[in-house]
Amino acid sequence: MTATGQQPADLLIIGGGVNGAGIARDAAGRGLSVVLCEQNDLGSATSAASTKLIHGGLRYLEHYEFRLVREALEEREVLLALAPHIIRPMRFVLPHDTTMRPAWMLRIGLFLYDHLGGRKRLPGSHALDLRNHPAGRPLAERFRTAFEYSDCWVEDSRLVLLNAMDAAERGAAILTRTRCVEARREDGLWRAVLEDAATGARHTVRARALVNAAGPWVADVLNGRLGVNTRSAVRLVKGSHIVVPRLFEGDRAYIFQNDDRRIVFAIPYEGDFTLIGTTDVDYHGDPAAVSIDEAEIAYLCRVLSRCLATPVTPDSVVWTYSGVRPLYDDDTGDASAVTRDYVLDLDAGDGRAPLLSIFGGKITTFRRLAEQAVDTVQKALGRPAPRWTATAPLPGGDMPDADFDRFLERLCAESPWLPAGTARRWARTYGTRVRRLLDGARSPADLGPCVAGDVYDAELRYAVEHEYVHTGEDFLWRRSKLGLHLDAAGRDAVAARIAELRSPGAAAPARTLAGGRR
């Protein structure tokens, strides 16, 4: 344990979202000793409430954010190679609405989108004649032409997890359900009091530098727990999504223009569903209590009903989720036009222990943000080290040529007894680490009892022992989306088994402040 009177850590990170986890991974890989504390589960707030896309942000071109789009497009290629199990290419169809942006504008935007970021692996854009193309079948009859382009899909909450896992394996201490009660500068260091949410036990951590990656709570941490008056402003914007039964066949997603100049995605989701989002609404409440409201549901249904041949109604919604984006406040009036770029605010000098606060950002550029954040901290500490994360696969992503289909084919050949659906789900979820879950199994009996659906005891044991799972919600809604596929009895059975595995008498590993494998 790193405590008062013992060797201080190089870096204490507050916040276990994608930015905090990405910074922890990068810093640990550069040789810094790292402690990360997250008050809830990893990726349990904004980072698990995205539209699940690794994308350049086509609409940001309209706001002249060329640097952000270029960086995001470059990262799209990098991340696809680093995590081919949780990130995959997806084609998007943009119907041309003659009452909105003209076709020439869309063509120019897509030309820039194709060439701005050095696209290598993904196919480029082209026009579609919807009158004789399958992509036109679910659409309203008024659409005659569309444009198709490439972006990528990501399991966002698992992206957070994999960064945290890799950080831990490189020596970082990852403390979930641990709140930073307060932190103050003392004798050239940060002295922080951390509290275990389960037991209420408190301990002290000293660190040479502190990163505030608390997302929607970034200003609260600064002004409250750190006692520092922020020089930067954060604007909280709520984004909500709805999930409905599958609206159209095929693997293509759709991006629809609306008459308020916003765009709404409709994306194939979890096989049986369609994901629709997002909204942009200024938010002034508690980020932990965010939820969709009736007006947002009605808005999303109205946009889809305007664009599809079959209306979408609120009573078809089977699940919703909402998140609060902590955007850097650039005094923009419209919430949808606020920049998604990030700002790193360093408070250091005069012998003070460095404090770096993260404002804004988007999931696609988290790795670049982390690189710059660690560069900044290392410069302040006088501990330079080379960047490394652009070529290092995330856990499970070390597949030859980043070829997921070939990996899945080999997995099915190695374990022909494994049902095809389970093999694909596990390959997508765990990548090459599925072999650790299988642990030499030669038949379903070796996986232990089937708890619910295709969830075997071996998977739940792996999740508890290696993936920081504490509750059924952690597993059902963040490590997976099995909560959508299991009935109430199945969800209860999973939650009960996880509780058993985490009980004092079970052999689940204890958390550690020393870093390394859990």
pLDDT digits (tens, 9 = 90+) for 108-161: 999 999 999 888 889 999 999 999 999 999 999 999 999 999 999 999 999 999
How many angstroms separate the most distant Cα atoms in the chain?
A: 73
Alpha-helical (H) ranges within 52-178 are 66-82, 103-115, 156-169
State the pLDDT confidence band at 329, using cuts at 50, 70 and 90.
Answer: confident
Rg of the chain (C-alpha set):
23
Residue 372 has phi, psi (to 5 degrees) of -70, -35
H or E element at residue 35: strand 34-37
Segment 466-476 mean pLDDT:
98
Residue 455 has phi, psi (to 5 degrees) of -90, 110
* Residues in contact with 438: Cβ distance below 8 Å, sequence separation at least 6, in sequence order: 415, 447, 458
Contact of 54 with 90, CB cutoff 8 Å: no
Contact of 436 with 466, CB cutoff 8 Å: yes
Higher pLDDT, 337 or 416: 416
Average pLDDT, the chain: 93
- Extract the tokens encoding 311: 């209306």
Give 411-440 pLDDT, tens digit per residue.
Answer: 999 999 999 999 999 999 999 999 999 999
**Bond before 332 cis per omega within 30 degrees:** no
Q: What is the pLDDT of residue 349?
A: 85
Contact of 177 with 158, CB cutoff 8 Å: no
Nearest to 435 by CA among 392, 395, 376: 395
pLDDT for 5 beyond 70: no
Q: What is the pLDDT of residue 339?
A: 67
Segment 472-497 mean pLDDT:
98
Segment 251-274 mean pLDDT:
96
Q: Enter the DSSP assignment of 49.
A: S
Contact of 458 with 424, CB cutoff 8 Å: no
Nearest to 23 by CA among 387, 353, 341: 387
Q: What is the pLDDT of residue 394?
A: 98
Residue/partner pairs of 415-421 with CB below 8 Å, 24 or more apart: 415/441, 417/442, 417/443, 417/444, 418/444, 419/454, 421/454
pLDDT for 337 beyond 90: no
Nearest to 126 by CA among 101, 88, 93: 93
Contact of 492 with 482, CB cutoff 8 Å: no
How far apart are alpha carbons 384 and 402 in whole angstroms? 31
Give 371-417 pLDDT, tens digit per residue.
Answer: 999 999 999 999 999 999 999 999 999 999 999 999 999 999 999 99
State the pLDDT confidence band at 516, using cuts at 50, 70 and 90.
Answer: very low
Segment 50-60 mean pLDDT:
92
CATH number of 66-154+236-328: 3.30.9.10
Contact of 201 with 208, CB cutoff 8 Å: no
Q: What is the pLDDT of residue 37?
A: 98
Residue 266 has phi, psi (to 5 degrees) of -130, 115
Portion of the chain with pLDDT greater than 70, in percent: 94
How far CA 411 is from CA of 101, 401, 416, 457, 480, in Å, comes to 47, 16, 8, 20, 20
CATH number of this structure's domain 9-46+158-233+340-391, picked from the four choices 3.20.20.70, 3.50.50.60, 3.30.70.1560, 2.102.10.10: 3.50.50.60
For strands 263-269 and 202-212, give the pairing: unpaired
Q: What is the pLDDT of residue 6?
A: 77
Portion of the chain with pLDDT greater than 90, in percent: 85
Domain ranges (residues) in the chain: 9-46+158-233+340-391, 66-154+236-328, 400-501
Segment 299-324 mean pLDDT:
97
Contact of 38 with 178, CB cutoff 8 Å: yes
pLDDT for 518 beyond 80: no
How far apart are alpha carbons 116 and 132 in whole angstroms? 31
Least confident of 102-111, 208-217, 501-510: 501-510
State the pLDDT confidence band at 2, using cuts at 50, 70 and 90.
Answer: very low
Residue/partner pairs of 502-510 with CB below 8 Å, 24 or more apart: 502/464, 502/470, 508/464, 508/465, 509/465
How far apart are alpha carbons 229 and 211 in whole angstroms? 15
pLDDT for 473 beyond 70: yes
* Residues in contact with 151: Cβ distance below 8 Å, sequence separation at least 6, in sequence order: 53, 54, 55, 56, 76, 89, 90, 92, 122
- Extract the tokens encoding 281: 């609404």
pLDDT for 315 beyond 60: yes
How far apart are alpha carbons 373 and 365 in whole angstroms? 12
Top CATH class, 400-501: mainly alpha
Q: What is the pLDDT of residue 509?
A: 41
Secondary structure class of 61 (helix, strand, coil):
helix
CB count in 10 Å sphere of residue 444:
16
Segment 334-353 mean pLDDT:
81
Q: What is the residue whose two structure tokens read 């609120």?
A: 314
Q: Enter the DSSP assignment of 250.
A: S
